[in-house]
């Protein structure tokens, strides 16, 4: 299995063996060099059984680990030393005791390393009576309530400030203030209204999104069962304090972090914290490894998780913000998303426009003073030029375009929290997927059965009998996900669960324990005889069996076949359980000859059926797909292969335990080729996202649990599942209400199209505003007076700029948009070539407008007629220029037709009629300063506007055509139909039965 996770390879005795997991009587170790070394595996199995206290040795050259079954009273440091000596090629008799891991600096908070009695003593409590009420009240006053600090949603004031605190708005308001100070109150009011309209649109859209997210994130308070003064009672979760004894039962939510004192077949759903899909089995025994991931601290329970099976007791060790969830929440609070590509580029453009505006104003004032104009007149002209230089329509076009994109996404059950988030999706270069509940269905399914035809009926009956799932009167099932999956398997094969259970009533149950990794149930058959069923670890259940299901001896050949099937299923990422049965006699439990072997069942959290097709669509769009999971490497590898994350190449995997050891530069380099991150912590997820961002990529992160929230917040785009936790909703940019990741496909196309359309609108606005600047500067240089008043400039900017810009922003999507790679987020929104073309287009519109001014001036002299002709010529030229901006290469003189844009067409017609109406009414003519235009003036102005369009289209027709992108792919989101993850290749139906569910 190829992967990038590095194992320790040092042969030094002090580091040669790593303790992975330890329970009384069991010790699992990682041995460097054991991977792929069958000779070392053989030597360990041969030499270690001679060491006193070791009862059985199991080795795996696939995982590089050794399992020791030993005397629970044996000294573990001596056993570790023996393994170290044999691995180094020395006799085990020469072994020196290895240092105890618990002496390696365990901090007081590392409760999994401390015996239960020591934990109780440190917390001054009792396992049998718990805290007294007085002690609990004292602790409550000292440590505070057991609650997490609620994430504050943005206030209405904060949302409004986000809309108005920007450079274009500031410059506009400054122009309004100067205009008011010089007597132009009407002009000042119009400028201020324009600024407020932009702010109102953005405020209304984002406020609505915040309300929707708040409704998704509402949760109800609950009580916790605790032991106080020797009595069990229900207390509100906020009143739980360190030292309380939690009483755990199926369905209970864990109120606080705690150290287990007792565990009877206890299992917890910790997926929202660890990301691991399988329920976590819990024990009360002592662990030895210092730096275990949260998911492997089997003697601890964590706030926010849930009991799925069994029962137990735990002493509370941390509450509120001191819990693991509280630490993750703090980590999420520290993470900050970067500015979006469009934010960065528009901010840079704003700065550039401000400098150009100031330079143009200063230049015009200087030219005017040199030409003999008065200072008061030049100040008014400078205000007019400032209004002309600022593309007031730019914030409006960008805001409204993204707001309309948000509206479209809401129709697909996606709530967008930030306006610019939908645009950022168009620049995404890599998507990091949380596995559990996102790529998978977050439920267990039996995917493979390995048994003979004669054994299958009995195996299915054992699945139903050796099972603690309870079925209520309404048919609902209550119990662990694993045991529900076994019932589903039996029922799918035609078994009547209730009849089987009634025909063989349960007499006794012996649960799994720390030293006994199987569960036994005793039943009475119809004839009164009693029999046993066994379910558990394949290697240990196999050791209890002496015969096959048909009574034939279970020889070495058959045992080897079972172990190979177990290895193969485990390598495919399945959780494997073994099943056996036998007569209810002492011999059945005492030795390896008492039970009959039935077979193996492999279970897994199935991949969502539409995911394979979705991954292929991302790859076609040039987007990398990365999986991040708390699950084991084998499980992650299998899912990565099913989804083709590596696009046919080897799957590169990096384990979370290695991330902290890597230099940031090395991690950044590895992140560029890693497809899967396994066994990761919440902090690791944040590291991964930041490493990918450091490589210059725009990163989207999906998730649904508390453990995902830091990475969701730090990512350029955080996508949370609607069924996820409130913590995930609060930090995400996009919430998929129906959990359909295929909506991302729609959002990607929407984002790319929005960016392209905003780019078209920006080209249009810059070229039209440039024409206004050049008209003002040119008229001053030519001593033509003030060709356009501030009100005329505002009309042009609001009517002939904003609404055509909005029409361009609603250009229909190019079906090829998702067959091309994402844009470079570092590339400017407009290139140097774009600016040259913008300058040419603006100069053409300027020349035709000034030509109209000069022609009318020649007929009527200086006055309102010349100003009116300039106004009409520039308005008409800009309206027609919107048609030219629909395509950067397609010209009026080329044969290719663009897809229709009815919105732009209707806008052009409406604006033409509106302008004509404004010039027809006396009061609006006076407001605009346009009077006395004759038919000849109108003809000149119209010809000038049409002439600028024809000249620009001619220039555009001479530009080189881009290379053909080939036929457009079908533009439909994936709907499923990819290869089913639950269908194994079945080469031998009697040896490997495909499971049904």
Residues tagged active-site: 434
Read out DSSP for 459-498? Answer: HHHHHHHS---EE-TTS-EES-HHHHHHHHHHHHTT--HH
Say how far apart CA 723 and CA 729 lie, in whole Å: 9
Collect contacts of 174-181 with beta carbons under 8 A, ≥24 apart.
Answer: 175/383, 175/386, 175/387, 175/390, 178/379, 178/383, 179/383, 179/790
Cα Rg of the chain, angstroms = 36
β-pairing, 699-703 vs 430-434, is parallel
CA distances from 934 to 34, 624, 872, 978 (A): 96, 63, 12, 70
Apex CA 72: angle with CA 70 and CA 74, to 5°?
75
How many CB atoms are closer than 10 A to CB 926? 11
Asked if 545 and 579 count as a contact pair (C-beta separation under 8 A), the reply is no
Say how far apart CA 76 and CA 338 lie, in whole Å: 49
How many CB atoms are closer than 10 A to CB 430? 23
Say how far apart CA 307 and CA 263 lie, in whole Å: 11
Helix, strand, coil % over all residues of the chain, rounded to 5? 50, 15, 35
Instruction: Provide CB contacts within 8 A for 226, sequence distance 6+.
Output: 130, 232, 233, 234, 235, 240, 244, 245, 246, 247, 255
Over 949-993, what HEC string results? HHHHHHHHHCCCCCCCCCCCCCCCCCCCCCCCCCCCCCCCCCCCE
* Dihedrals phi, psi of 589, to nearest 5 degrees: -100, -15
Asked if 299 and 314 count as a contact pair (C-beta separation under 8 A), the reply is no
Over 386-444, what HEC string results? HHHHCCCHHHHHHHHHHHHHHHHHHHCCEEECCCCHHHHHCCCCEEEEEHHHHHECCCC
Asked if 511 and 519 count as a contact pair (C-beta separation under 8 A), the reply is yes
DSSP 553: B
Say how far apart CA 816 and CA 962 lie, in whole Å: 14
Say how far apart CA 747 and CA 734 lie, in whole Å: 10
Burial class (CB in 10 A: 0-12, 13-18, 19+), 797: buried
How many CB atoms are closer than 10 A to CB 892? 13
Taken in order 557, 560, 565, 566, the sign of the CA dihedral is positive
Residue with tokens 């399945």: 574
**Quick one: which of 46, 18, 22, 21 has its CA closest to 33?**
18
Say how far apart CA 225 and CA 313 lie, in whole Å: 10
Taken in order 641, 646, 647, 648, the sign of the CA dihedral is negative
CA distances from 509 to 467, 518, 519, 533, 915 (A): 10, 11, 8, 10, 87
**Quick one: which of 19, 12, 478 has its CA closest to 292?**
19
Question: Which letter, b or e, does each residue of 482-497 get, where b requires 16 or more Cβ atoms within 10 Å of its Cβ?
Answer: bbbbbbbbbbebebeb
CA distances from 143 to 112, 129, 139, 520, 577 (A): 22, 21, 6, 44, 44
* Dihedrals phi, psi of 632, to nearest 5 degrees: -70, 160
């Amino acid at each position: 299995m190829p992967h990038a996770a590095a194992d320790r390879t040092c042969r030094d005795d002090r580091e040669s063996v790593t303790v992975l997991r330890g329970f009384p009587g069991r010790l699992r170790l990682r041995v460097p060099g054991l991977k792929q070394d069958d000779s070392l595996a053989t030597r360990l199995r041969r030499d270690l059984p001679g060491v006193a206290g070791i009862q059985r040795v199991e080795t795996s050259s696939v995982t590089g680990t050794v399992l020791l079954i030993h005397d629970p009273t044996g000294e573990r440091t001596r056993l570790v030393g023996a393994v170290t000596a044999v691995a180094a090629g020395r006799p085990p008799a020469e072994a020196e005791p290895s240092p105890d891991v618990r002496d390696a600096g365990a901090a007081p908070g590392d409760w999994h390393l401390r015996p239960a009695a020591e934990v109780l003593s440190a917390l001054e409590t009792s396992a049998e009576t718990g805290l007294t009420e007085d002690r609990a009240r004292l602790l409550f006053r000292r440590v505070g309530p057991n609650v997490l600090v609620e994430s504050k949603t943005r206030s209405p004031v904060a949302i409004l400030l986000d809309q108005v605190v920007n450079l274009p708005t500031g410059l506009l308001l400054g122009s309004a203030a100067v205009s008011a100070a010089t007597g132009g109150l009407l002009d000042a009011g119009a400028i201020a209204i324009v600024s407020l309209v932009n702010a109102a649109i953005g405020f209304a859209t984002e406020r609505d999104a915040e309300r929707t997210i708040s409704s998704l994130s509402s949760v109800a308070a609950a009580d916790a069962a605790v032991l106080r003064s020797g009595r069990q009672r229900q207390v509100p979760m906020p009143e739980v304090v360190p030292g309380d004894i939690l009483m755990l039962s199926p369905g209970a939510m864990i109120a606080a972090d705690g150290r287990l004192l007792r565990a009877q077949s206890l299992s917890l759903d910790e997926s929202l914290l660890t990301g691991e899909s399988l329920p976590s089995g819990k024990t009360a025994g002592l662990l030895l490894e210092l730096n275990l991931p949260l998911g492997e601290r089997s003697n601890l329970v964590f706030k926010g998780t849930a009991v799925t099976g069994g029962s137990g007791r735990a002493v509370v060790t941390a509450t509120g913000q001191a819990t693991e969830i509280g630490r993750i929440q703090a980590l999420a609070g520290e993470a900050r998303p970067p500015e979006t590509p469009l934010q960065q580029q528009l901010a840079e453009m704003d700065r550039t426009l401000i400098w150009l505006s100031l330079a143009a104003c200063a230049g015009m004032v200087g030219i005017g003073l040199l030409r003999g104009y008065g200072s008061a007149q030049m100040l008014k002209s400078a205000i007019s030029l400032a209004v002309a230089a600022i593309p007031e329509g730019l914030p409006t076009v960008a805001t409204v375009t993204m707001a309309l994109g948000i509206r479209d996404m809401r129709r697909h059950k996606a709530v967008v929290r930030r306006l610019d988030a939908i645009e950022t999706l168009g620049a995404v270069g890599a998507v990091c997927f949380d596995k559990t509940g996102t790529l998978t269905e977050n439920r267990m399914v039996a995917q493979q059965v390995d048994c003979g035809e004669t054994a299958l009926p009995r195996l299915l009956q054992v699945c139903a009998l050796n099972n603690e799932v309870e079925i209520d009167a309404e048919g609902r099932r209550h119990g662990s996900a694993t045991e529900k999956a076994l019932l589903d398997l039996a029922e799918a094969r035609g078994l009547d669960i209730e009849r089987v259970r009634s025909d063989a009533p349960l007499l006794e149950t012996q649960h799994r324990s720390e030293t006994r990794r199987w569960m036994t149930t005793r039943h009475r058959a119809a004839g009164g005889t009693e029999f046993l069923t066994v379910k558990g670890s394949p290697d240990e259940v196999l050791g209890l069996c002496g015969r096959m299901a048909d009574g034939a001896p279970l020889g070495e050949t058959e045992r080897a076949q079972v172990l190979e099937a177990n290895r193969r299923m485990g390598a495919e990422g399945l959780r494997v359980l073994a099943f056996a049965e036998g007569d209810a006699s002492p011999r059945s439990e005492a030795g390896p000859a008492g039970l009959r072997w039935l077979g193996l069942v492999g279970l897994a959290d199935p991949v969502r059926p539409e995911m394979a097709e979705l991954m292929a669509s991302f790859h076609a769009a040039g987007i990398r797909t990365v999986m991040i999971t708390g699950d084991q490497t084998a499980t992650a590898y299998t899912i990565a292969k099913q989804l083709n994350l590596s696009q046919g190449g080897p799957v590169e995997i990096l384990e979370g335990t290695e991330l902290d050891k890597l230099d940031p530069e090395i991690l950044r380099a590895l992140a560029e080729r890693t497809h899967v991150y396994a066994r990761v912590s919440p902090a690791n997820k944040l590291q991964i996202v930041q490493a990918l961002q450091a490589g210059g990529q725009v990163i989207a992160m999906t998730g649904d649990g508390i453990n995902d929230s830091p990475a969701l917040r730090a990512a350029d785009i955080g996508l949370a599942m609607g069924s996820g936790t409130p913590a995930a909703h609060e930090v995400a940019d996009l919430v998929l209400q129906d959990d359909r990741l295929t909506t991302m496909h729609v959002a990607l196309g929407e984002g790319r199209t929005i960016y392209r359309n905003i780019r078209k609108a920006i080209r249009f606005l810059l070229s039209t505003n440039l024409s206004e600047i050049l008209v003002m500067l040119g008229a001053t240089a030519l001593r033509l007076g003030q060709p356009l008043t501030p009100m005329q400039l505002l009309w042009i900017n609001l009517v002939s700029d904003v609404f055509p810009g909005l029409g361009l922003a609603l250009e229909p999507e190019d079906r090829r948009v998702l067959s091309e790679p994402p844009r470079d987020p570092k590339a400017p929104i407009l290139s140097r070539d774009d600016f040259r073309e913008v300058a040419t287009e603006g100069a053409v519109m300027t020349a035709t407008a000034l030509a109209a001014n000069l022609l009318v001036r020649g007929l009527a002299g200086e006055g309102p007629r010349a100003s009116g002709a300039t106004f009409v010529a520039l308005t008409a030229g800009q309206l027609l220029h919107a048609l030219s901006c629909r395509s950067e290469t397609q010209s009026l003189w080329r044969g290719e037709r663009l897809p229709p844009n009815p919105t732009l067409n209707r806008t052009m017609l409406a604006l033409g009629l509106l302008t004509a109406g404004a010039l027809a009414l006396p009061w609006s003519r006076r407001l605009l300063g346009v009077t006395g235009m004759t038919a000849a003036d109108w003809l000149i102005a119209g010809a000038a506007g049409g002439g600028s369009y024809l000249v620009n289209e001619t220039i555009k027709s001479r530009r080189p055509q881009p290379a053909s992108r080939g036929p457009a792919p079908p533009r439909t989101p994936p709907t499923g139909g990819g290869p089913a993850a639950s269908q194994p290749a079945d080469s031998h139906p009697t040896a490997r039965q495909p499971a049904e569910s």
